[in-house]
Structure 1
Amino acid sequence: MTPFTIKVIEIIQSIPTGKVMTYGQIARIAGSPRGARQVVRILHSSSQKYQLPWHRVVNAKGAIVIKAEEGSSLQKHLLEEEGVIFYREGELELNKYQYFPLEEWERDYFEE
């Protein structure tokens, strides 16, 4: 497993209940600013194995992008169970629900 893949898995595992992150945001934090599609592949291949909260990952507009009706309905349902409210069909207020994990230097600064 590559360091990028490991970091992506760790980031997704860290998303708290009721919050979301975007594919691009995860890629950027994991060290590949243009790696959003890699994040999609990692989610697709590793969600079950690593019990990733895949439903907490949305696109840059705060929208569910799963094409299959069953999958998109499940993602919306799981997020709604966590208290996320959709203002349009399959679209949430990103500025309200987006999670920003602290980087190492930020943790050190805020924990002092």
Structure 2
Amino acid sequence: MEQPRKAVVVTGFGPFGEHTVNASWIAVQELEKLGLGDSVDLHVYEIPVEYKTVQRLIPALWEKHSPQVPLRLHLLHLPVPEPRPLRLRPRAPTGQAVQRRPAGQGTAGHHR
């Protein structure tokens, strides 16, 4: 009997400030190219750097895909502020969370 495929959702942030391309989105796109194996359904999304949108989108993505990861790891941030190896962390340090800018000043979410 074939094992069910596991859903994995990875998000990268969209443009913000003077950065027309967010390095975290580039990293997510590279992960998408590599894939996570035949037993994984990988879903990648570019999400705006806008607090209220993130608060709405992340639970919706969780409900849509039901990723099979421990709940405490349901949202991972890929910090890529400068050229260096990637690292995962479960949350941003205090004060470095998503910018609280008005809706409409970021790009709409993008899914592949």
Structures share a fold, TM > 0.5? no
The answer to which structure has the higher helix fraction is 1
Could you tell me the TM-score, scaled by structure 2's length? 0.27
Could you tell me the TM-score, scaled by structure 1's length? 0.27
**Greater RCO (CA < 8 Å, at least 6 residues apart):** 2
The answer to which structure has the higher strand fraction is 2
